[in-house]
Amino acid sequence: MESIYIRSNEEFTEKVIKADSPVIVDFYADWCGPCRMLAPTIEALAEEGKAVYKVNVDELPGLASDFEVSSIPTVISFKSGSEHKRQVGLADKKTILGLIE
């Protein structure tokens, strides 16, 4: 399985902004308890073949700022390169999947 972790702005552009289908991005931090609780859900979606990625806000603070992520976890869905929907805080799998509908 391809890595779900985005490590650069360029990689974000390639995998999210230029994507042909809807994409879910989890903005998180390693020290964040709710983020760690959400991680298995994001990983399960990736294993099911959904286009999901994780962005560490400590490693890419500019990217988090670009999308006005001020609380984590924040999960944003993108369609045609633009933000579609957003979920702030811990959420279940059904809620996360609802972001791409």
Would residue 4 show up in a list of annotated catalytic residues for this protein?
no
**Active site residue: 6, 16, 35, 42, which one?**
35
Tracing tokens 């999960």 back to the chain, one arrives at: 75
Task: List the beta strands (DSSP E) in the chain.
Answer: 5-6, 23-28, 52-56, 74-79, 82-88
State yes or no: is 2 an active-site residue: no
Q: How far apart are CA 31 and CA 51, in angstroms?
A: 24
Selecting among 6, 23, 32, 45, the annotated active-site residue is 32
Catalytic machinery residues: 32, 35
